[in-house]
Chains A and B, each alone.
Chain A
Amino acid sequence: MKIGVLALQGAVSEHIDMLKRAGAEAFPVRKKEEIEKIDGLIVPGGESTTMGRLIKAFELEETIRKRFSEGMPIYGTCAGMILLSSEIEGFDQFKFGFIHLTIVRNAFGRQVDSKEIDLTVKGFDTPFHAIFIRAPVGKNPGANVKVLSEVPEGIVFARENNVLVSAFHPELGTDLRVHQYFLDMVRKFLTNKEVL
């Protein structure tokens, strides 16, 4: 399994380390040709406005859309979640619209409100220790969106078909379960080779 981490800006190496620990081949991708060759894509945490600008400026949008429509699994953390969403409340900025979710940016407040929480996640036996940094939340999920975890502020972990999003940063911790969940999606995509 070859997983690319979109390396325009943000916490790229942390995802690569986690993916390797989980047994996948992982490397940074920042060009069209590189995105053509992968089996799964992670859009990391960072600044969504910065990444959005670079996706447009370096014409990566079309390639990522094409791979999405082929069913390739894509996982977005934090800024990545914002970029994959269909709607961003109060901001007119670039987004893919791969998951039907309205994003509230900086939903918890500013950096002093960033925090660590033990999160209950659907399908996980024990809580997941989640790190939130100037994190967004989702609301108004579309009919096909499976909500995997929620806090009082909104949705923080969700999936729609081949797209997974989390408002928190599993790549900053040591628990591999979220990355394993994503790698399972990739495994199924490779065996079925059809849209999930």
Chain B
Amino acid sequence: MEEKYGTVKVKRGLAEMLKGGVIMDVTTVEQAKIAEAAGAVAVMALERIPADIRKEGGVARMADPKLVKDIMNAVSIPVMAKVRIGHFAEAQILEAIGIDFIDESEVLTPADEVHHINKWNFKVPFVCGARNLGEALRRIAEGAAMIRTKGEPGTGNIVEAVRHMRIVMDEIRKVQNMAEEELYVEAKELRVPFDLLKEVKELGRLPVVNFAAGGIATPADASLMMQLGADGIFVGSGIFKSSNPKKRAEAIVAATTYYDDPKILAKISEDLGEEMPGIDIRDLTDKDKMQLRSE
């Protein structure tokens, strides 16, 4: 019986199993258990949530492997963790402890300003952020098994995630309407491999799942992103920076499933307590924007 590990099918397959679900940022074992009980499909283990990284500043790195392992032992759902962009040694460490998914993330301070990790070298699947089709396809060309919008993490403001999702969807529609000979120039302009662009034209979507991330704080935010075409939702600071994390987490999970049913959304949006305080994007300078940390 021949067995093959770490294949494209197996990596992209796990991402497909997460569709229609919510992946929640957690910083402790206790939060991970709350997230699992509330219906999260996976948790993202990290030392500081984006809102605190933004506030405290300094260099943000991969979490302590001990914390990640403790969280892996505490829940039965997949556990993800973040590495700095280009920091393949951090990724090797996380793979060695048996992490289920790695987020090569602009939320952490980049380790390489030119190169991303060659993700084909790993058995573990990667998710990467993208603001447009070009970024998404470059990450997929490097081996990413899942894409998410970058949004603007830790702001509780959905505007950037909406912008990025709309841009990707709009560019996919544009590619679908192109003649095949036009794809050669388009591939050159987007700086992506021709074959990947052709695949997008044929599929009418990215060849991997595409989640929404960055600024999601309410059930309505989750519904909005799903209606714009997201396959699922990441919630970073939005849950554990709110006044009633359990109830809000359950509500965002339900909203991601029943995203197109306003009556259900109205019911689950009731009485959730205080949301995380948000930030107006216009108050951020380019230096503050995590989304600009890679392309």
Taking beta carbons and an 8 Å cutoff, which residues of A are in contact with B? 7-14, 30, 45-47, 49-50, 53-54, 57-58, 78-79, 91, 105-106, 109-119, 131-134, 151, 169, 172-173
Contact = CB atoms under 8 A, between A and B. Distances in A.
A65 B45 CA distance: 37
A112 B20 contact: no
Given A9-B257, A50-B41, A53-B39, A105 B76 contact: yes
B3 interface: yes
B20 A7 contact: yes
B19 A9 contact: yes
Interface stretch (B6-14, B185-193, B210-218): B6-14
Question: Most B CB atoms within 10 A — which of A111, A112, A151?
Answer: A111
B43 to A, nearest CB: 11
B290 to A, nearest CB: 26
A78 B19 CA distance: 14
A145 B196 CA distance: 45
A114 B20 contact: no
Nearest to A169: B13
A105 B76 CA distance: 8
Contacts of B77: 47, 49-50
Contacts of B101: 111
Contact of B1 (A49, A114, A118): A118
B16 interface: yes
Contacts of B2: 117-118
Contact of B4 (A30, A111, A116, A169): A116
30 contacts: A7-B20, A7-B257, A9-B21, A9-B256, A9-B257, A12-B19, A30-B257, A45-B16, A45-B17, A46-B20, A47-B42, A50-B39, A50-B77, A50-B253, A53-B250, A78-B17, A79-B17, A110-B72, A111-B100, A111-B125, A112-B123, A114-B6, A114-B10, A115-B7, A115-B10, A116-B4, A118-B1, A119-B1, A134-B100, A151-B1
Nearest to A173: B9
Interface residues of B, number: 42
B9 A134 contact: no
A63 B256 CA distance: 22
B253 A116 contact: no
A105 B14 CA distance: 15
A114 B13 contact: yes
B254 A54 contact: yes
A91 B76 CA distance: 9
Contacts of A10: 17, 19-21
B263 to A, nearest CB: 11
Nearest to B41: A47
Contacts of A131: 9-10, 13
Q: Nearest 10 pairs between A and B by C-beta? A: A111-B100, A9-B20, A53-B39, A47-B41, A116-B4, A114-B10, A110-B98, A9-B21, A50-B39, A11-B16
